[in-house]
Chain A
Amino acid sequence: MTEKRISIALAGNANVGKSIIFNHLTGLHQHIGNWPGKTVERAEGTLRFENYIIDIVDLPGIYSLSTYSLEEIISREYIALEKPDVIINVVDASVLERNLFFTLQLLELESPLVIALNQMDVVAEKGMKIDCGKLERLLDVPVVPCVATKGVGISDLIRKAIEIYERKPRHSPHPPWFGLEVEEKIGKLMATVEQIEMGYPPRWIAIKLLEGDPEVEKLIYACRPAVAEEVKGLCQEIERIHSEPCSSVISSERYNVADRIARDSLRIVVSVKPSWEERLASLTVHQIWGYPIMALTMASVFYGIFRFGSFTSDQLLRVFEEMRLSYFASFGSTMIVMFIWDGLIEGMVAGVTIALPYIVPFYVAMSILESSGYLPRVAFLMDSAMHKIGLHGKAFIPLMLGYGCCVPGCMACKIMETQRERLLASFLATLVPCAARTVVILGLVGAYVGLRWALFLYAFNLIIIFILGRLAFKVLPGEPVGLIMEMPTYKMPSLEVTAKQTWFRLEEFVRIAFPLIIAGNLILVTLRFLNVLPILDQFFSFITVSWLGLPAVTMTPLIFGFLRKELTLVMLAALVGTSNFAAILTKTQMIVYATTIMLYVPCVATIAVLAKEFGYKKALAVTLFEIGFAIMIGGLMLRILELIRI
């Protein structure tokens, strides 16, 4: 029997459990790429079911099919023009009305639809019941109840999707649901646009023209400028009847339909008292209590990560150290043997021992905070502070992640709406002292100059982020976007979801960062073998010695810091042959050295992420700027410290 290939797209609002369903369907056979030419994530995977091969695409989470964000444009072009065989519309049953608003728009696009009515457990907890049969009849679309976090309903979903695919004819057009006067105008317009071959359904084009959708207007008016007059006339008629702009009339009518359907299929069984979720929700965004709760949560998360990270890191280092010793014992220490270890293996060891012990717990914590619904609350609380640097509350999340590691920090910038804000947030996230820089600040300044000076450096860093944020906000063209987001109800995070999410993110991190860490290490080791480093030390002494007032030997660790920031400390000790830094650096030099390292260049893994998200040009610009900026600030710091004589 031959296998049939079907394409299915998952569509729905943000935060409805789309990705969880996607993970269930595709298991580990998925890959995340970008939409052609755009930087919006595109997750794809395949599933074998009976004798079907099913390609699944997870569309971005959106609320509407208008054109106000890249995500919306991509989704609608994909649905309308690439015509996937079936669309699974994931609906959060506990917020039925808002979700149906989007469902109605999918139906307008005349897509073959199956509804995955997710989070039925939450509906039951809220003391409500949804009549799936009735919802099915009202929408004329199959509805499958699911609890995605527990895997309930997933196989029914795929069976229904195949049923839809096999059913002939493919779909029946949905019943008209707008008011009579609007439907009449739609009918008139349809007659006109039916003659134009666009690939989009004519009824949908008619609706979009009445809504004043700029993309559709451009398409239609380009080939039929005369239609513009007709649309204008019809819009005015509608506006005269409703005394409201035509586009608002259409969205309110759509909402009215969604409201009616939701009410008809919803039964309130018992009225429940405010649940713990609701009380927690109001407490965590409380004007006063919200802040200490947030500080406490974040502090304990970070403390936990650092403790776990440093412990695991030490253990792993010990294991690798033993491996290294037995490696040299068995192969001798000739040049080539040394080169293989230092050049090839050391890079991987560094990745495994330094990055992973911190990043794994980091991803776990993030996944829990995310799926429980706490992160949006943090964004809510931090919105006004983030506005001072031209970003909104959501940008606090990447910055906070930056204190752990800039790589997930920059990756998290995807939550911002526009490319401009993503770049701004990423740029600031690279300036945040990550765990590796903390090692330098605490290990050098904290240990030898005093904790007060270490704290001063952190405060100084915040000021710099603030100033550069404001400047970048002024320099980058574009309008700031205000915060608007749904606040999900609190949920118990599921172990399975957390494990899978951590795994996928870790895989992505390893794929991006490891090759670069290893390659970078190889290059630097080659330089060392060729004995070029002392020449570089001499060559750059005008920066290190003359401007920064540091010993010439610091140039080598500064170069290696490009790989991993904590190397700037480890290598310095190796080069000067002592880890008592007080013997080789004065207090002023230590502060200058730490300041420069705190700002001077994103590490190679971070640059890789920047390049992936924004292209090599912008990544290079950020890198060069930060090198120049750090050297400048380091030198200024030296001069000021000399003036006040600490």
Chain B
Amino acid sequence: MITSSIEEYLETLYALEEEKKPASTTEIAKRLEISAPSVTEMLKRLAELGYIQYEPYKEVTLTDKGRQMAKRVTRKHRVLERFLHDILSIRKDKAHKQACEMEHVLTDEVETGICKMLGQPDRCPDGKLIPICDRDVKDCTSCEPAEEDQKSRKKLLLPLCFLRPGQKAVVRFIRGGMMAVKRLNDLGVTAGIQIELKSCAPLGGPVEIAVRGSSLAIGHGLALKIFVEAC
């Protein structure tokens, strides 16, 4: 049974990983507003459950299992923030607080429904990336929130622009509405195709990829919608 406090810890660890900051006991304690000894206690439990790798006085890192769980909660949090902020016009700080409470009880079905209604948002109101869901679909146009027997994706995918120049990968998922998906499909970026990242411009610039024997430049915003499995 995953308690909401476990989810809070994993979420914090994921946020630190995103910000590329070391996850120390003191930092976690500060963020969760909990005393350091109880954090140590909890980290030990998380390590036993296989969510993190932890040795006293060393940096804490998420395991793949832990990261998947963390992404799931983080996703719920950020999707909720968008919903509260965009649809209900709730102030950002209030939306954040509310989302912290709601994220633990939100079912996957409702989350998918909200995601679809909002038009598959890429980022939360603070501009942080919303992780993709684990439904095993090739792009958002075939996602039906009510569908019960959805298989979940096993592999960890990353956005196209996180690849290094020269790295090869296979496109597995495209986030976004019909328009974005179709535009990318028309230019040959379809699920299952192998691509190679040729170069990327600095400061959130576009990426250049080799796909189907030609070169394509794709802006940062669109490149964030393409999720790949690195080879």
Contact = CB atoms under 8 A, between A and B. Distances in A.
Contact of A255 (B178, B180, B188, B200): B188
Interface string B125-143: 0000000000011110110
Interface string B196-209: 00111111111010
B222 A384 contact: no
Contacts of B190: 248, 251-252, 255
B186 A485 contact: no
Contacts of A281: 215
A255 B222 contact: no
A380 B198 contact: no
A387 B214 contact: no
Nearest to A489: B215
Given A248-B185, A287-B200, A483-B218, 17 more contacts: A63-B187, A212-B178, A244-B191, A251-B185, A259-B212, A262-B213, A285-B199, A380-B201, A380-B206, A380-B217, A383-B220, A384-B220, A393-B206, A482-B180, A484-B219, A484-B222, A487-B217
B221 interface: yes
Q: Is the interface of A mostly helix, strand, loop or mixed?
A: helix
Residue with the greatest number of chain B CB neighbours at <10 A, chosen from A212, A381, A383: A383
A4 to B, nearest CB: 37
A618 interface: no
A383 B205 CA distance: 6
Contacts of B222: 482-484
B216 A484 contact: yes
B216 A97 contact: no
B191 A486 contact: no
Given A259-B212, A483-B206, A245 B199 contact: no
B188 A484 contact: no
Contacts of A63: 186-187
Nearest to B210: A487
Interface of A: 63-64, 66, 68, 95-98, 101, 212, 239, 243-245, 247-248, 251-252, 255, 259, 262, 281-282, 285-287, 290, 376, 379-381, 383-384, 387, 392-393, 482-489
Given A239-B142, A248-B141, A282-B198, A487 B215 contact: yes
Contacts of A393: 206, 217, 219
B87 interface: no
B69 to A, nearest CB: 25
Contacts of A384: 201-206, 220
19 contacts: A96-B213, A98-B212, A98-B214, A212-B178, A243-B137, A248-B142, A251-B182, A255-B212, A259-B212, A285-B208, A287-B201, A376-B217, A383-B201, A383-B205, A383-B219, A387-B220, A482-B222, A483-B217, A484-B183
Nearest to A487: B215
Contacts of B204: 384, 387
Interface residues of B, number: 42
Contact of A244 (B142, B187, B212, B215): B142
Given A245-B141, A387-B204, A379 B217 contact: yes
Q: Is the interface of B mostly helix, strand, loop or mixed?
A: mixed
A485 B213 contact: no
A376 B201 CA distance: 13
B214 A95 contact: yes
B10 interface: no
Contacts of A259: 212
Contacts of B205: 380-381, 383-384
Contacts of A489: 215
B66 to A, nearest CB: 29
Contact of B186 (A64, A282, A285, A290): A64
A486 B216 contact: yes
A163 B199 CA distance: 46
B182 A68 contact: yes
Contacts of A96: 213
Contacts of A487: 208, 214-217
A484 B187 contact: yes
B117 interface: no
Nearest to A213: B182
Contacts of A379: 217
B184 interface: yes
A31 to B, nearest CB: 30
B192 interface: yes
Residue with the greatest number of chain A CB neighbours at <10 A, chosen from B142, B200, B202: B142
B219 A482 contact: yes
The 7 closest A-B pairs by CB, nearest first: A483-B219, A245-B142, A64-B186, A384-B205, A487-B215, A482-B222, A482-B219
Given A64-B186, A68-B179, A483-B222, A97 B141 contact: no
A68 B185 contact: no
B181 interface: yes
Contacts of A247: 141, 178, 182, 185
A282 B165 CA distance: 11
